[in-house]
A and B are shown apart, each in its own frame.
Chain A
Amino acid sequence: MPISEDVIVVGGGIAGSVAALSAAETGVSVRLISHKKSTLRHASGLIDVLGYTADGSGPLADPYEALDSLPEGHPYRVVGSDAVREGLALFDQIAGDEYLGGHTDTNALVPTHGGAVKPTARYPRAAAGGIASDDRDMLLVGFESMTDFEASLAADHLDAAGVPFDVTGVTVEFPKTFRADAKVTRFAKALDTDEDVGSRGTREALAAAVEPHLDGAERVGFPSLLGDDHRHEVRDDLESYLGAEVFEVPMGPPSLPGLRLEDLLFDALDEAGVGMSTGNKAVGYETDGDALSAVVVDRQGREIPYHADAFVLATGGLVGKGIGSSREGVREPLFDCHVPHPEDRYDWFVDDAFGDHPFAAFGVAPDDRLRPQDADGDAEFANLFAAGGVVGGADVAAEKSASGVSLATGVVAGREAGESA
């Protein structure tokens, strides 16, 4: 069996990447298998640990203090607060100086593109200038062609949220005219390569368009499209033209900060010598007694077994397609692990669209080593561990805990897999 490793991780999002790194730290050989690009391309790039309690109170200043208030069976309760810290420590190692927030346990408040203030544990360096606890006056800049960010509306919202600074918004024309539905990547590329517009570069021309509106503001926020590979250089240039700090406001999907985070994770995996096979879907498995011996990967029609001693399931939640549902019920499609859910389909959700929906917390039910359990509470397989969105028990969207749950369960599942391999 030529394709064989000590540990195989299925899923290439935050959870899978962190599990693979954590497994590699135990000294075993690791391969990560991922079908598609992960949901990181849609994510804001912020690393939330816990912003609100399960009953909706918050924003929380200290996420650790609130861990005990979470319902039993919540992944944080299963792995404990040490695992949350370890997950963040591993993240800090991966992100290096690309992310900030590691200097304190408390949440930072980061303005979002809608003008809300979001409690988050780690934020990209590019977003640092926008922190809401800072009292310097702020100018937000939107572009006519980019309807997702209404700068003056966002400014009004921030103002109404009671931020301790003056904030105004202005809409200007981007110095290069693109087609009406141009992609964020097009804007980023123009700034990255400082494309020529008339007699000067895009960066200088953009600064010139913003300058007249500065009115004493000491920091200027743009939607997150300020370059990709050369993002720090783009911000530095804008800062020197404007004489003010420049930052990015995290945007909705598709999101450049999410893409950049994907690159950071990829580099770390590469550095750690983790094997990666992407683009093909895991569709089945082979067993040896009560343990898994291989996952079967579909390579354009051919089913190829990938053998390992231990496995991590990190295929994501409902959005990442790690959990599926049909009229018959809810299940985990790859290993057919049990997913606890109410018998009656009409009990999966409540009438209020933003209410406390049971489906939001659907996922596999892990034992204390993060092994998915069957309906009787026994491990589905002796050597299968789960991490991230596929693990049930947390309403990560309401709690603002998605990345934190992926990090904490990722380190634990990866280590368990590495140690049992």
Chain B
Amino acid sequence: MSDAQSPPEFDPSAGIDSIDDFEPVQVFDDGMDLRPGADNCYKCTACDTSCPVAEVDDEFPGPKFQGPEQWRLKRKDDVEIDDSIMSCSNCMRCDNACPSSVPLSQMHNEARGEYVENQMDHTSREYIRNRILANYRTLAELGSKVPRITNAVMGNSLVQKINEKVLGITAEREFPEFATQTFREWWRERGGAQVQSDEKRVAYFHGCYSNYNSPEVGKALVRVFEEFGYQVAVPRQRCSGTPMFANGMLDDAERAANVNVPEFKDLIDEGYDVIASCTSCSMSLKQEYPELFQISGIEEVSNHTYESLEYLRIHEDIQERLDGATVDYPDLAYHAPCHARSQGLDRQAVELFRDVDGFEIEDVGSSCSGISGTYGWKTEKYEKSMKIGEDMFDHMHHAKGNVGMTECPTCSSQMEHGTGYEIRHPLQLLEEAVV
């Protein structure tokens, strides 16, 4: 055996039940026991090679350390959580890479929550900054009340400098503009659902971004689903929790989940499935909710949640509808968000639109965009965030089109920031094609 090939790890004499359906996460009364997950790690470091932060950050020890190794260290009473956990961007790429299904991102979320709770000074600038960024919705709600003024103020370079100095929010980025009419205002104004159906019902989790910043995405979703005969509901909702997980603000996330879960659970009981247009929102409801919280109905919500295009692909013959269609559209440089990737959705937009005539859609490769929600907004992370994104910018410039496309609103702002391209959502293209 030469050393380019390591000896097989397999030890048949051990008789481990490696194929039994064994759940790495078992919930006990005293909270999560991640031990079996940690024990599954055989230190192959596949997770480390897929971590975009470890690729650029000399301080970051990588997912293997943050997950199983830290978990083991933590069992000793006097060992604190390493502050490097705050550098993990929660992109979840490590989850996808691990051949042993070690629940890495869950371990990171828990460690981060514990770190923020017990080891962080809650009066520190960093804590306050993170809290503000994580609770974007609160800001957005205020801001969208007077969108024009807010846009003017936030776009003011003096305000940006103050944000940077006082709060550690980078002045390099432009704040996303607030729409003059939110999605929910539009929805009310049009009188809610226009299609009634007993069989085809979806409840839309629009999240913060398509409500306050890009209502055209939400509108496209409504029009497309109504075109396919769905009755759409838009229940009361709060933030999905994604930015809170990434900042270790588990209590804030749980408060929001306590609103979202019962609202959507009630609709599920009436025959609705839950759909989201943001891949981080669907990720959160599907995976992070049941991993982190115990709320009545949480499993049902998880089991009924889909990303919107995913839902259509499963339930409608949308490919057939699109085959041979011609749409007058600019050429597109498509980027798959990390959270689409971890749900197995990274190829769907390109596959779906590949055979539609009138434009070209090109996948710009598998790199992370680098912004990872609030990560790229932090002054100390900005440079790293741009460095991670470099690959994507590069590929976008090489792609044919000068318009970008992605499902994730923060990836979208990073794409725009790095290339100056206008960015659209696949639902907008679908609206163009079928409505």
Contact = CB atoms under 8 A, between A and B. Distances in A.
B427 interface: no
Given A324-B19, A359-B10, A299 B343 contact: yes
B78 interface: no
A25 B302 CA distance: 39
Contacts of A266: 366
Interface stretch (B168-176, B242-250, B344-352, B368-376): B344-352
B7 A397 contact: yes
Contact of B46 (A37, A275, A360): A37
A397 B354 contact: no
Contact of B49 (A36, A183, A193, A280): A183
Given A2-B318, A183-B51, A318 B8 contact: yes
Contacts of B76: none
A109 to B, nearest CB: 11
Interface string B299-333: 10011001000100111111100000000000000
The size class of the interface chain B forms with chain A is 35 or more
A276 interface: yes
B24 interface: no
A327 B17 CA distance: 7
A301 B44 contact: no
B347 A181 contact: no
Interface centre among B8, B45, B46, B318 (most CB of A within 10 A): B46
B3 A252 contact: yes
B226 to A, nearest CB: 19
Contact of B303 (A182, A302, A321): A302
Nearest to B302: A301
Contacts of B56: 186, 189
Given A2-B319, A42-B46, A324 B4 contact: no
B381 interface: no
A112 B344 contact: no
B2 A319 contact: no
A359 B344 CA distance: 33
Interface residues of A, number: 71
Contacts of B17: 326-327
B48 A183 contact: yes
Nearest to A316: B99
Contacts of A102: none
A254 B302 CA distance: 34
Interface string A242-262: 000000001111100001000
A17 to B, nearest CB: 14
B368 to A, nearest CB: 12
A77 B92 CA distance: 43
A193 B19 contact: no
A392 B290 CA distance: 39
Interface stretch (B58-66, B103-111, B230-238): B58-66
A183 B55 contact: yes
B342 interface: yes
Interface stretch (A113-121, A231-239, A369-377): A113-121
Given A186-B55, A252-B3, A326-B17, 6 more contacts: A2-B317, A185-B54, A229-B391, A275-B351, A278-B346, A300-B286
The 7 closest A-B CB pairs, nearest first, are A324-B19, A279-B344, A114-B3, A44-B4, A280-B344, A254-B49, A116-B2
25 contacts: A36-B99, A41-B50, A42-B44, A177-B58, A179-B59, A184-B49, A186-B58, A266-B366, A270-B350, A273-B354, A275-B347, A275-B351, A277-B344, A278-B96, A278-B344, A279-B341, A280-B344, A299-B310, A300-B287, A302-B303, A321-B99, A346-B13, A354-B1, A360-B8, A398-B1
Interface of A: 2-3, 36-37, 39, 41-44, 46, 112-114, 116, 118, 177-179, 181-186, 188-189, 193, 229, 250-254, 259, 263, 266, 270, 273, 275-280, 299-302, 304, 318-321, 324-327, 331, 333, 345-346, 348-349, 353-354, 359-360, 397-398, 400, 402
